[in-house]
Amino acid sequence: MTTAPTATRAPAEWAEAFTEANNTDPEIQAHGKYFTTTWLLDAGEHSYAIKLESGEVTAVTVDPGPLDVPYQFAIRASSDTWREFGQPVPKPMFHGIWAASFQRDMRLEGDVLVLMQNLRCITRQIELLRIIGSPV
């Protein structure tokens, strides 16, 4: 079910909504057996270190300090870009990490191999923002 996000959530609340959405998502749960990593969603105003174990989000650290949480790769973009990702139907070029990396200010950094190894589930995770709303 897709519902329009009403207002931006507080970071802790967003982390909770993201965890719930991921852990109940049929696609990720069907295909996430080996989806085990920690990655950083960097949205400028706030960042989130998202820890996954076998497709389950087991921890989200909001605004981690410089050495707090090791992560394998990062998806970084401006707050404005992430806000567009949080629309129920995003505008062109804000509809995925490839689109926004090729045409907008998104950057895929760190061990991109781990991102590629988990691309199917990451792609779905990013689309959960259309349901729960922007992280900033």
**Among 11, 86, 90, 135, contact with another protein (rule: CB under 8 A):** 90
Determine the interface stretch with another protein among 16-24, 47-55, 68-76, 84-92 (rule: CB under 8 A): 84-92
Whole-angstrom Cα distance, residue 91 to residue 13? 25
C-beta of residue 27 within 8 angstroms of C-beta of residue 19: no
Binding status of residue 46 toward another protein by CB under 8 A = no
**Among 97, 128, 129, 132, contact with another protein (rule: CB under 8 A):** 97
Which positions from 107 to 136 touch another protein by CB under 8 A, shown as an x/- string?
-----xx--xx-xx--x------x------
Cβ-count burial 116-135 (b if 16+ within 10 Å, e if not):
eebeebbebbbbbbbbbbbb
Strand order in the sheet with 47-53: 56-62, 47-53, 37-42, 73-76, 107-110
Which residue matches tokens 């049929």? 26
**Among 62, 69, 99, 131, contact with another protein (rule: CB under 8 A):** 99
**Among 69, 95, 110, 131, contact with another protein (rule: CB under 8 A):** 95
Whole-angstrom Cα distance, residue 86 to residue 4? 9
- Interacting residue ranges for another protein, rule: CB under 8 A: 89-90, 92-93, 95-99, 102-103, 112-113, 116-117, 119-120, 123, 130
